[in-house]
Structure 1
Amino acid sequence: MNEMVVGRVTLIKKSTFRPSLPDDWSPTVTEISKTNFEWNIQFAFLDNPTTSIKSPRFLSEVYCAWTLSLRVTNLSIDILLHLERGAQYSEIAKPIQLSTRIANKKGESLYPSEKLTVFSNDLISSDEDMVYSIDKHDFMKSKFNGIRDNLNIYCTVEISTLKTKLGFYSSKDSSDIRRSQLILTQLEEFLENKTLSDVNLNVGGRVFHGHNIILAARSKVFAAMFNHETAEKLLNNVDIQDVDPDVFQEVLRYVYTGQMSSGTLDKMAVGVLAVADKYFLDQLKAECESHLMKRMSADNCLELLALAAQPHPAMHLKKYAVDYFRRFASLVMATDGWKKAKEEKLIWSCELIEMLFA
């Protein structure tokens, strides 16, 4: 049996309304965290008489982790939820809410309604709890006829925590926040407006204007380059090879502001990780690894293994990719990527075999 287990997670946070209060007020507010999880499953899985499959693990920050299970019996199709309590699980203040629905690849629901499940924090099991159950016969007939592509299970977990915002309204903390925001804004303006720039960064035919003091402060590679009598320092010019200019632009934005444009990691996490590794940007590298691990699938597993097999691999990503390959080898080997790897006899395939049997 081929199994497709692909998950995608998004986290949305919002807080309750904060009224205008005195400067020394320390309010307790309710903070709501929503984790959206999308699980992709091959339709053929439902044709088996009785079987079950687990989703990738997804997180609600530091509070808890979740795993979904899809269980097919002769009579029903069941979705179950497994909870792993996190380090700060005790901070959850209200019942946990879970909404679940089944849809096609376009996001259109294949069963009449979304199911809302509410768990009491004290009663939720550490085992699996049923959150959705469908009559198998009803589900497989009329509305499902002709739909043989993959299914998506959409799951949203909502948790509430009580946070005491000590000094949230104090003039001192407000000033600190304003100062931090002002510094980030000014650094971004330096980058965008080329204000007082003193070094040119030539990347794939595009020139970025930078400030060697900022680059050196953020990267050990640039620090070594500008603290010695190198050609780059003498000419105020750095030629950067084998890096996509769009990727470098986002890395440079991160160097200056600690942030990247919205959606950057969804589009170019692999490229950003390689540049982060090259310039010793450890925090950015860790963010890329985490992002890629959450979005690993049969289709991109080989690409991520190839990335992890490079001279300075991302060790956490490497371990996760190897584990994924071990668990879902049949799926990975059914992809075009595997076919290409066999045809081209990619050099990293030998190391892959060593990793799998280590």
Structure 2
Amino acid sequence: MMDVEGCDNLPDSASVIFGHKVCHTRDAKWLCLNNFYEKVHRPNFYDIGGTYIEDVPDYWFMYKTEQVSSIFLLHIFVCNRQESLFSIAISRNTDNMKVDKKNDAIYLTQSLKEHRFKKSKEMSQNYLTTYSFSSYDLDLIKDKIFYIFISFDSPENRGMCQGFVEQVKLNHDLKALLSDPVGSDFTIESADGVKFQVHKVLLAAHSEVFKAMLKEETAESQNSYVKLVDVGKEDLQCILECIYTGTVTDLENCNCINMLMLADRYNLKSLRELSQYALSQQISVENALEILVVSDMYNSEMLKAVALKFIKKNKSCIQTSTFKEINNPELLRQLLEYIIPA
């Protein structure tokens, strides 16, 4: 957590969506959730407020609160008043909550995720995203106004600039440097002896762990070489692809449990998000308990909530051998409290 001092684009009245206050769609930047701490403890649907074009209602936002064991969930929805093509970017997760002590406020501002809706029917309720909170997160929010950053993108503007944006993204794709590492200044060797020629500046930019490793006084920096004795070739290839491109092409065939573990070890945020998403899509009766254990071990509340819900719907999961291998009493307590009706 950090103070909000120095943060740009803090809410002004014209940019805040709250209740029936008039906020023009073109100006909208913030969803305002008042008394959120109390409402998250009373699971239900709640209105946030709407946007307008002149005096005509345009979009309306709602949220639903839910509790899963010790995890608190916030689901955001948007209703479009007319059939339309539209796009909304919204804060991706709760990792970047900022505290404004002066104004008793909490902000979700960075790392936006875009959601596009193609010809959504009039008065459709569209799901946007879900946030998860621990009890500690909620204690920080208590007695504060909660703001979530959003950004509208009109189809007209998208049509004019999308080609240019895609070209810029293409020009900044560094994947070619993995196969032809021009200007490389560092060597990483996998546990099985495969060496990759890489660039210090990219490693340091994406990982605080690599950044510390590459300081001038370290042996790794002076030798321009490190061997990762517990990272195999395939896993290291995935790590480097994520660093150079922001994604992993063949994510479905990666060992995503290993990826989550390595993302945590090397503090790679993009790889962590990709791994969590992939595991949430790959969950099955055979691996649900393993995913639950891993999500608890690496503090992935979103993935933990997915695993708990799946296990509750598929109680045969606890008949697998993994159940007997869980040696965390607190996790077992949470699991049993969740799947056994009170």
- TM-score normalised to the size of structure 2? 0.51
Q: Is structure 2 residue 291 aligned with structure 1 residue 304? A: yes
Q: Is structure 2 residue 334 aligned with structure 1 residue 355? A: yes
Provide the aligned C-alpha RMSD in A: 3.6
Partner in structure 2 of residue 276 of structure 1: 263
Among 208, 222, 237, which residue is 2:210 paired with? 222
Distance 1:218 1:85 in 2: 30
Read off the aligned partner of 1:330 and give its amino acid letter.
K
Q: Are the equivalent residues in 1 in contact too, given 2:83–2:122 (CA < 8 A)?
A: no
Q: 1:91 to 1:307 in 2, by over 3 A?
A: farther
Q: 1:290 to 1:202 in 2, by over 3 A?
A: same
Partner in structure 2 of residue 166 of structure 1: 157
Distance 1:297 1:167 in 2: 39
Q: 1:299 to 1:224 in 2, by over 3 A?
A: same
Q: Is structure 2 residue 225 aligned with structure 1 residue 237? A: yes
Partner in structure 2 of residue 203 of structure 1: 190
Among 325, 335, 339, which residue is 2:321 paired with? 339
Q: Are the equivalent residues in 2 in contact too, given 1:298–1:328 (CA < 8 A)?
A: no
Q: Are the equivalent residues in 2 in contact too, given 1:248–1:272 (CA < 8 A)?
A: no
Partner in structure 2 of residue 315 of structure 1: 301
Q: Is structure 2 residue 244 aligned with structure 1 residue 256? A: yes
Partner in structure 1 of residue 315 of structure 2: 330
Distance 2:166 2:314 in 1: 49
Task: Give the structure, 1 or 2, with the largest relative contact order (CA under 8 Å, sep 6 or more).
Answer: 1
Task: Write out the 4+ residue segments of structure 1 that deviate beyond 6 Å after TM superposition.
Answer: 123-126
Q: 1:208 to 1:330 in 2, by over 3 A?
A: same
Give the unaligned 5+ runs of structure 2: 1-60, 63-74, 86-119, 127-152
1:69-218 correspondence runs (5 A) = 86-87=77-78, 89-90=80-81, 92-93=83-84, 121=121, 164-166=155-157, 168-169=159-160, 174-175=163-164, 177-184=166-173, 187-205=174-192, 206-218=194-206
Q: 1:234 to 1:267 in 2, by over 3 A?
A: closer
CA deviation map 1:281-335 (0-9, x unaligned) = 223312321332233222211110221232x33222123323433x23631123x
Q: 1:89 to 1:332 in 2, by over 3 A?
A: farther
Secondary structure of the corresponding residue to residue 86 of structure 1: strand
Secondary structure of the corresponding residue to residue 183 of structure 2: coil
Q: Are the equivalent residues in 2 in contact too, given 1:309–1:351 (CA < 8 A)?
A: no
- TM-score normalised to the size of structure 1? 0.49
Distance 2:230 2:123 in 1: 55
Q: 1:300 to 1:192 in 2, by over 3 A?
A: same
Q: 1:179 to 1:286 in 2, by over 3 A?
A: closer
Q: 1:201 to 1:323 in 2, by over 3 A?
A: same
CA deviation map 1:246-290 (0-9, x unaligned) = 1220221110111221x4135432222222222212233123213
Distance 1:306 1:347 in 2: 10
Q: Are the equivalent residues in 2 in contact too, given 1:189–1:195 (CA < 8 A)?
A: no
Q: 1:90 to 1:245 in 2, by over 3 A?
A: farther
